[in-house]
Chain A
């Protein structure tokens, strides 16, 4: 067993909010040495619960990039880094002296990743990169809606998909660098990331089939139902074999030849689909949710209870896959949170430590850069660093 695949890789994380920081955390826990650079006012998301997750496994320095000496520190760090991540609004990184033009000149081997709302070019490139603005323009809310109106999505999807795309793309660029010796700019946008997550719908050709939609699921054999106790479970008869087993398990083998179910499981056409849904709704009201789940699971019929996220954290399968980790957060106590989602068997990643306090490693990082104690004290006094 060796250290994580990215051990020895130095990442400079100028990210704020979620996308940049989360990307950097994912790299840190596959071995990279990540330094988070915060501005004097701090990452605005320090107040969010998730900050301790998105920013664990990193060291941090607080620098005022509006001051010339602060910019020099940032540039010195970049000159010694392999990866730089930023998710400022388009143009801001340049104005702070850490734009791609400047940094690639200092360090042609650096992989420079910009995460933005809409990308650096095009009519939308100046729009603010908020989750809701991206989701609206990407058609996400209208797609989620049914009947006549759109629906808001609670989870910040575009933000998260962008972080995953950035982690993949940065690592890909590092592979390229092994062969060419050169870095490059990698542009990741929340828009393109959420479009990719809609890849099965964002296809157009003559005769394309657009699926009907509804809140509990699109199809009668692939949707949520309630038991007699009002609790919900999801039935996912994803192929004919499962449909067959389902009919046998519930004692209705005759459905296999019933014209009402023709086309099962995916092609039960309207208006029969509504009929089947009504029939199953009634059928499932005979027993409690847990009784149905147990009965169906015993015969390998795909089903699952609707649970809360809190319940998921107690799920033995989640725990067995090391996805619940207990981290000691100074001043906050022990906090259970996500584990490492990608597992490499030989180059094992690890969680390196809790999210740092503001400026926790400023002195250490500046000392490593070659600044004398006197200089560091002066810069603190002049509010160039904290």
Chain B
């Protein structure tokens, strides 16, 4: 049994955050039907990104700008348990698919919105992208340092919180509906996500001082808690969090004398002389390969890890052994390796249901399921209300 089997999700999302909500639900067994305009989700532009974000779904094309197109969408909603959208507030109203309108078709629908800035407030209608929230929320300045070049995070920080908190909201509403029989409106936003991701930083009060430790070239927190480069040019992370780690480190690099050096004897002293210690450790670590340092330090009981490259991830024995990946055969791209379901359930594990769909790949199939006859569907296509991808 899959947790959300028998739940149908009408997915009107585009890009990353909203689309990811539906992918999370698909991984839990939901039947997710992605509704796209004739031009498709702009996210399709980068194949790999689209594949990673939209696997698990079926895709249909409906022209929602036309009345009859909207009527076809409404037929889909009659059989849907959930609608998910992430357009600018007001957009769904214009095409008659806002919550109040959809409730008339499906009174107990669970309607999930993931707008950029929230549906209330003075800037609700501004265009939103993850980096704009990174900029506004202090994430860029927090990484690069105050007054320094702001740093863009390669992980789409807020766009990746959105899918998970949105899925959390969906699960909450489903749980409530199992008991009450009632649907409702659920909202999260990139704005809320940007706050939630800074839970320990987004705090202001008497006696509370937040320090910006960001730096343009930041490698870590201090000399014994940071990235180091070895002789082979590869990097690893050294993480001493206890006094015994420090002792073991000095032993492992053949510099036991450092523990008696007044500059480094205590944690306070090490903080004061951080630069000098960093220099000593940098030089030490340059004397041999990263592949040697990691086991040496591990055996000494010092927390350490290689800093992996993206390419390394696909072959990492831990990831392969623990089924972090799934392998799919994509009609356009051939063999694809991508991420499996994120969390693991002992009784009802999720599953990646299918490869990321081609534009309009399932239009015929879904419309037939909805009860339209073949001639009707051909007529819709002729009038450009719907599009089916070539088979």
Contacts and interface: CB of A to CB of B under 8 A. Distances in A.
Contact of A175 (B175, B189, B333, B337): B175
B172 A157 contact: no
A312 B312 contact: no
Contact of A155 (B197, B241, B317): B197
A216 B152 contact: yes
Interface residues of A, number: 142
Contacts of A2: 176, 180
B132 A6 contact: no
Contacts of A99: none
A313 B202 contact: yes
B138 A346 contact: no
B314 interface: yes
A253 interface: no
Contacts of A123: 317-318, 321
A360 interface: no
Interface SS of chain A: helix, strand, loop or mixed? mixed
B196 A302 contact: no
Contact of B336 (A52, A153, A204, A320): A204
A234 B132 contact: yes
B48 A312 contact: no
Interface in B142-163: 142-144, 146, 149-157, 160-161
Contact of B337 (A137, A203, A308, A336): A203
Contact of A49 (B203, B216, B236): B203
Contacts of B239: 128, 130, 132-133
B44 to A, nearest CB: 12
B131 interface: yes
Contact of B205 (A186, A201, A297, A332): A332
A367 interface: no
Interface residues of B, number: 146
A382 B149 CA distance: 57
Contact of A224 (B152, B185, B343): B152
Contact of B196 (A30, A166, A217, A341): A341
Contacts of B334: 205-206
A345 B154 contact: no
Given A50-B203, A307-B138, A308-B212, A341 B195 contact: yes
B343 A186 contact: yes
A80 interface: no
A92 B155 CA distance: 32
Interface stretch (A58-66, A139-147, A370-378): A139-147
B195 A338 contact: yes
Interface SS of chain B: helix, strand, loop or mixed? mixed
Contact of A150 (B169, B196, B307): B307
Contact of B135 (A48, A153, A186, A224): A224
A161 B339 CA distance: 15
A264 interface: no
B136 interface: yes
Contacts of A197: 155-157, 160
Interface string A198-210: 1111111111111
A126 to B, nearest CB: 10
A87 interface: no
Given A127-B305, A193-B342, A341-B165, A215 B149 contact: yes
Contacts of A208: 47-48
A234 B321 CA distance: 41
B66 interface: no
Contact of A332 (B46, B207, B214): B207
Contacts of A380: none
Contact of A222 (B120, B128, B131): B131
A363 interface: no
7 contacts: A49-B200, A142-B235, A168-B164, A173-B3, A203-B52, A224-B135, A320-B122
Interface of B: 1, 3-4, 16, 20, 24, 28, 42, 45-49, 51-53, 117-118, 120-124, 126-129, 131-144, 146, 149-157, 160-161, 164-169, 171-176, 178-180, 182, 184-189, 191-208, 210, 212-214, 216-221, 225-227, 229, 233, 235-237, 239, 241, 303-310, 312-314, 316-319, 321-322, 324, 330, 333-339, 342-348
Those 8 A-B pairs whose CB atoms lie nearest each other, nearest first: A50-B200, A309-B138, A320-B121, A335-B205, A171-B171, A184-B347, A321-B118, A200-B49
Given A151-B218, A155-B198, A342-B166, 6 more contacts: A179-B178, A191-B324, A199-B53, A238-B42, A301-B127, A302-B132
